[in-house]
Amino acid sequence: MSQDFKTPITLNFQTSNILTAILLISHIGAVCCLLIISVSAVIKMLLIIAILFSAVYNIFHYALLQSKNSVIGVVLYEHDCTLSIRGGSSHLAELDLTECVNTDSIIVLKINYDNKHCRVPVVRDMLESDTYRQLRVYLKLKPA
């Protein structure tokens, strides 16, 4: 099967209820695990506060796309991509295919730009179903 990678794939991300639930449940699980560990109450409270701040940051940044550094769009070309940040900036970037994760339930894109790198989690409700399918096919068939 031959795949044409010359047509760009435009990913315009939307807020995600699924990713919000995943992040919320994982952070609540971390707090529950912490509650059964035998350490002082002060240390538990400090760690719980840190976990709650992490939950708020990650949900706003990755699931609700409200951070000024949230990735709100990616256009995948044959050899590179364009990254759109909520703060208004746009960067020519490179998709690191060797570090991307592509499963049935979640895709994690690793994108390098301006000597920085970011990881972008993508779940089904962040994209239109056809675009999500195109992204999965792109990641499966594009040589690394």
**Residue 77: which H helix or E strand, with range?**
none
The 10 Å Cβ neighbour count of residue 138 is 18
Which residues have C-beta within 8 Å of that of residue 52, sequence separation ≥ 6?
27, 31
Predicted confidence at residue 78, as pLDDT, reads 86
Quick check: 12 and 73 in contact, CB under 8 A?
A: yes
**What pLDDT score does 2 carry?**
47
pLDDT tens across the length of the chain (144 residues): 445 667 899 999 999 999 999 999 999 999 999 999 999 999 999 999 999 999 999 999 999 999 999 999 999 998 899 999 999 999 999 999 999 999 989 999 999 999 999 999 999 999 999 999 999 999 998 876
User: Cα dist. 41→26, 36, 47, 107 in Å?
Assistant: 22, 11, 10, 38
Q: Give me the half-sphere count of Cα atoms (radius 13 Å) on the Cβ side of residue 45.
A: 3
pTM, rounded to two decimals: 0.88
DSSP 8-61: -EEEE----HHHHHHHHHHHHHHHHHHHHS---HHHHHHHHHHHHHHHHHHIII
